[in-house]
Amino acid sequence: MDSARELPGALGPSVSQPQWESGNVSVRFPFADDAGPEGYPFNAISDACVVIPSGREASDETVSVGCLHIGPSMVSVMIYAGDEPVLCRHVPKSVFEPFTPFALEPMRPGCSGFVSFGDIRFESFRDPVMLRDRVRLSDSAVIRPVVGRLTKFIKPETGSEASGIVGIVVPQEVSVARELDPDGREVGHESVVGFSLDADGLDLVSVGCDAAEAEAGSPVPVSSVNGLQPDENGVIAVVFARDESEVPE
């Protein structure tokens, strides 16, 4: 079924677009059905997916669009989790395409996602519009994974736990770097170490594990860890956390 509806506010009429596969014509996805306020330009954002990871249990923070800015030459959005901004995206008119996913930029480590904007008519916004209402996103648009942690090392020969100083040996195609927050500090009581592949390592991933194994001396790329796969750049992270009972107050 096609639908041509008037975009609220000053966005003008939308183009005729097929409805989503679910056929839910009346819902406000990616916003919650009961989201407000009245008159908010819901059609300015046509789709979104937000990932809010947690280290212990799934986050219950309310996820919302906390700032929507539309001007004559750009559109931007800021996503909040609770009272904290966690993701944002600025799209200039020169590269804007309606109903096209744009990757959100993280403001909180580990958060990610994408947003698609509607058919925004930039010529209608000679005077920029800044909307700072907290407009809740649908639960269906939010992914809340619990990120697993490495808690100990086991000696494969004996099965006993390794203690003291331990080392991680990686192939020469792999780079290891300690990741910090924007202020250069550890996040809470955690140290995050990022593993990434250089150009040779990415070539190995592109040919697949079987082909890599066939080459003498070639490392076998990591395909997944507990079901978690490297991203499109071949990057995966292992989180090391110390026992909080040992952290001085």
Domain boundaries, given as residue ranges, for the chain: 2-143, 153-246
Percentage of the chain beyond pLDDT 90 is 37
- Beta strand extents in the chain (DSSP E only): 2-3, 6-7, 12-13, 17-18, 45-51, 63-70, 74-81, 84-92, 101-103, 105-106, 112-117, 129-131, 135-136, 142-143, 153-154, 161-162, 174-179, 190-197, 236-241
The pTM (predicted TM-score) of the whole model is 0.56
- In this prediction, residue 73 has a pLDDT band, given cuts at 50, 70 and 90, of very high
More confident call, 61 vs 158: 61
Pairing of strands 161-162, 153-154: antiparallel
Judge whether residue 136 has pLDDT over 90.
yes
Judge whether residue 34 has pLDDT over 80.
yes
Helix (H, G, I), strand (E, B), or coil: what is residue 162? strand
Contacts of residue 101, defined as CB under 8 A and 6 or more positions apart, other chains included, come to 47, 114, 115, 116
More confident call, 149 vs 123: 123
pLDDT score, position 95: 95
- In this prediction, residue 85 has a pLDDT band, given cuts at 50, 70 and 90, of very high
Pure H helices in the chain: 199-207, 209-214
More confident call, 202 vs 109: 109
Judge whether residue 42 has pLDDT over 80.
yes
Quote the mean pLDDT of the chain. 75
pLDDT, tens digit (0-9, with 9 covering 90-100), for 190-215: 566 676 766 665 555 555 555 544 45
- In this prediction, residue 243 has a pLDDT band, given cuts at 50, 70 and 90, of low
pLDDT, tens digit (0-9, with 9 covering 90-100), for 11-32: 444 444 444 444 444 478 899 9
